[in-house]
Amino acid sequence: MQRRQFLKTAGLGAAGVAAAPFVSSAHAQETYTWDMVTSWPKNFPALGTGANDFAKRVEQLSNGRMTIRVHGAGELVPALEVFDAVAAGTAEMGHSTPYYWRGKLAASQFFTAVPFGMTTTEMNAWLYHGGGQELWDEIYAKHNLKPFAVGNTGPQMAGWFKKEINSLADMQGLKLRLPGLAGEAMNGIGVSTVNLPGSEIFTSLQTGVLDAADWVGPYNDMAFGLHQVADYYYTTVWNEPTATVETMINLDAWNELPEDLQDVIREAARASNLAMFTEFAYRNAQALETLVDEHGVQLRELPEDVIQALYESSQTVIQRQVESDDDSRRVYESYSAFQQVMRPFSDIGEYAYFKGREQVGGQSA
């Protein structure tokens, strides 16, 4: 009944493709040049190039009326200061991921990834059809920002470890790079976590500042050379079953745009969201083969007692979050209700298919 009620109240608000309004010939001559600051190294595979692709789509769809100049992390502002820079108007746009801002806006974490939460397909369905975008707009507006999903990494690896993990006891005291709710859950089982920009992970592992680190997945991890400083690669997806990449826009700048250019940004964001997700799916498959066959990376799964402890810690972290912050409560109520709507079909759909495919021969089927 809860699922049916949610469908009645939220599902009817499905977003569609907006039609560009009529624009006078004089108005159509106006041009806009914006700066976009990012949390990624300039031209970094998929993430940095995803920012470039989004900017290119906006320029093409606007017939050249809008140009976005993309700046890599550190060129105008540091990687983890994108939120403040765009809110203040230092740049009109940012390209990053929402859980980086948990210290400024706790509810933002639910728009990137929730441990043991929704998949990419489910997450996009919530944003586009289940009220997620409206909530995201509401809480970012308090900081003078307008957000859009412009990409997704898909499921992320559990991370690189310098030693093998055989039990929960092996996790105690480890220093791990892991952001968001998952990082807090790791703290709850005896791990010490920090959030660092991706560009600092290699050196931190190499020098012993870190014992382990998550980044993204095989494609981006190999690009940073993480296989050169850690031997064990843990595949168990618990921390980020999806990971949304965002563009945030200074709300004053957004409100000054004519409606047709706002529609251009909306549709460019949708296209970029799909493009990045599919690129990661393909590139990760290629990179994983290279890591294992050419570099001898040791793939491992986290032990059952570690996964169970992480699940229990995740539930504690989420409950504490929603009890202490009203925005987090409202967002998570919507998120979890939509997950319950999606789960029955997800279970009999893709999940059942994966199990069946493995039973009859896995890849050879």
Q: What is the pLDDT of residues 85-100, one digit of tens each?
A: 999 999 999 999 999 9
Question: What pLDDT, in 10s, does the model give residues 36-50?
Answer: 999 999 999 999 999
Q: Given this model, what pLDDT does residue 4 score?
A: 47
Would you state the pLDDT for residue 16? Answer: 40
Q: Consult the annotation and say whether 279 binds a ligand.
A: no
Is 240 annotated for ligand binding?
Answer: yes
- Span 127-146, pLDDT tens digits: 999 999 999 999 999 999 99
Q: Measured between alpha carbons, how far apart are the two ends of the chain, in Å? A: 39
pTM of this structure? 0.90
296 pLDDT tier (thresholds 50, 70, 90): very high
The backbone torsions φ and ψ at residue 24, rounded to the nearest 5 degrees and listed phi first, read -65, 155
Residue 20 has pLDDT above 60, yes or no: no
177 is in an annotated binding site: yes
> What is the band of 27 on the pLDDT scale with cuts at 50, 70, 90?
low
Q: Is 57 annotated as a binding residue?
A: no
Q: How buried is 209 (Cβ within 10 angstroms: 0-12 exposed, 13-18 middle, 19+ buried)?
A: middle
Can you tell me the mean pLDDT for 71-95?
A: 98
| Confidence band for 9, pLDDT divided at 50, 70 and 90 | very low
Q: pLDDT tens, 175-185?
A: 999 999 999 99
pLDDT of 361 reads 75
The mean per-residue pLDDT over the stretch 203-225 comes to: 97
Annotated ligand binding at 3? The verdict is no
Structural domain boundaries in the chain: 2-154+243-283, 159-240+299-364
Which CATH number is associated with domain 2-154+243-283? Answer: 3.40.190.170
Please tell me if the domain spanning 2-154+243-283 has the same topology as the one spanning 159-240+299-364.
yes
**Of 258, 259, 165, residue with least CA distance to 212:** 165
For residue 17, is pLDDT > 50?
A: no
Given this structure, which CATH class describes domain 159-240+299-364? alpha beta
- Which amino acid belongs to residue 254? W
Contact yes or no for 130/187 (Cβ under 8 A): no
